[in-house]
Amino acid sequence: MRFTTLGTGTISLSPGRSCAGYILESPGVRLLVDCGSGVTRRLAELGIEWQTITHVALSHFHIDHHGDLPTLIFAWKYGFLPSRTLPVEIIGPPGTKALLERLSAAYGEWLLAPGFPVSIREVTPADVVELPGHMKLRVHPVPHTPESVAYSFERVGRRIVYTGDTGPSDALAAWAYGCDLLVCECSLPREMSIPEHLTPEQCGELAAAAAPKHLALTHFYPPVEDVDIHSIVGVRYAGPVTLAGRLRLDETDPKGRAAIETLRAHGTDPGAIVVPSPAVQTGQQGTYVFVVKADQTVEMRSVNVARVRGGETVIKDGVKPGETVVTDGHLRLVPGSHISVKPAAGAEKATS
């Protein structure tokens, strides 16, 4: 199974993150998990074969988790030739069918009758959904909205759990216990804590109870990006932690090394990250960064960090277009000769 992050942000719109979306790929299954705004473009950006997605699973009905679904269905209908004939199944909690019927009433009958079969399967916690290739899908209710569920994907002894949006839940931790990868929302810093979302402290507590082999955090509102999530989670949960879209992995540290290997095993999103140690410093020659290559392998490489321009650090040499560098900050790929990197806090200090 390979789990790729497409959208790691929220409805608090961010230049570096799309609304929620993930794709799970395994033999016979290409399953999109949530489909928030920006996710369709991310599918294209990452070169994922979106034309042949077999299933879409929705965690709940907030629009940052399904806003791009009508776009995706329209793309399947008109976005390529020959037209799609492959069926698609849309999975979700009870209410999914009614939601899609309302969307169809607004947009047109094509939404549920696009010229290829669209089926809707509403799942409850009692169900075990058998998908192709011996994949099993289960759901568990989570405290967020009345319909909200977490998903579990199991295949050949491996298990991935995605929390969707959730508040703290002992029942969720027990249900997720011992999974290989826990993809967990991490919405808000402690000062902004609300019962419907998790803080880094609560993510650490959930992970301590659930004991996943690897914890990946996602669904970041911008204020939580300003706190040291790794340190806060690390005092509660000792396993490897990945911040989706902003991984801080230190190749020289055994835990970081283990995390990188886990990422490789699970498949890394080339648009989501890995990190250099030390942080990129402007004006420095021969800075080492991690580069995620198109074939998803990770390589440590020397780059030439040239200058700061309008709050952005520009890496001048050492990375080819189409490759992703990982730094302490967010980063955007600029096709062409350089990569723009928003400097990390440390890097900003180094230039002032």
Site for Zn ion in 267-296 (CB under 5 A): none
Range in contact with Zn ion (rule: CB under 5 A) among 132-140, 160-168, 220-228, 296-304: 160-168
- CB 284 to Zn ion: min, Å: 38
- CB 144 to Zn ion: min, Å: 6
Q: Is residue 62 a contact point for Zn ion (CB under 5 A)?
A: yes
- CB 133 to Zn ion: min, Å: 29
Tell me which H or E stretch contains 149. Answer: strand 149-155
- By beta-carbon proximity to Zn ion, the closer residue of 188 and 291 is 188
- CB 148 to Zn ion: min, Å: 7
**Residues 6+ away with beta carbon under 8 Å from 278:** 287
Q: What is the DSSP string of 208-230?
A: HHH--SEEEEE---GGGGGS-HH
Range in contact with Zn ion (rule: CB under 5 A) among 90-98, 99-107, 161-169, 255-263: 161-169
**What is the distance between the alpha carbons of residues 302 and 215, in angstroms, rounded to a whole number?**
29
Range in contact with Zn ion (rule: CB under 5 A) among 67-75, 162-170, 278-286, 321-329: 162-170
Q: Is residue 64 a contact point for Zn ion (CB under 5 A)?
A: yes
- By beta-carbon proximity to Zn ion, the closer residue of 12 and 284 is 12
**What is the distance between the alpha carbons of residues 84 and 299, in angstroms, rounded to a whole number?**
38
Q: Is residue 154 a contact point for Zn ion (CB under 5 A)?
A: no
Q: Is residue 68 a contact point for Zn ion (CB under 5 A)?
A: no
Q: Is residue 155 a contact point for Zn ion (CB under 5 A)?
A: no
**Inter-axis angle of helices 96-107 and 69-78, nearest 10:** 60
Please select the residue that binds Zn ion; options are 34, 68, 147, 165, rule is CB under 5 A.
165
42: nearest Cα among 67, 61, 12: 67
String of contacts with Zn ion for each residue 13-52, x by CB under 5 A: ----------------------------------------
**What is the distance between the alpha carbons of residues 217 and 229, in angstroms, rounded to a whole number?**
9
- CB 251 to Zn ion: min, Å: 32
- By beta-carbon proximity to Zn ion, the closer residue of 9 and 271 is 9
Q: What φ, ψ does residue 224 adopt, rounded to 5°?
A: -75, -15
- CB 32 to Zn ion: min, Å: 15
Tokens coding 36: 């928030």
65: nearest Cα among 159, 185, 161: 185
Residues shown for the chain:
352
Residue type, 137: L
CA distances from 50 to 37, 73, 75 (A): 15, 11, 9
Q: What φ, ψ does residue 295 adopt, rounded to 5°?
A: -85, 10
- Tell me, by CB under 5 A, how many residues bind Zn ion: 3
- By beta-carbon proximity to Zn ion, the closer residue of 71 and 281 is 71
Residues in contact with Zn ion by CB under 5 A are: 62, 64, 165
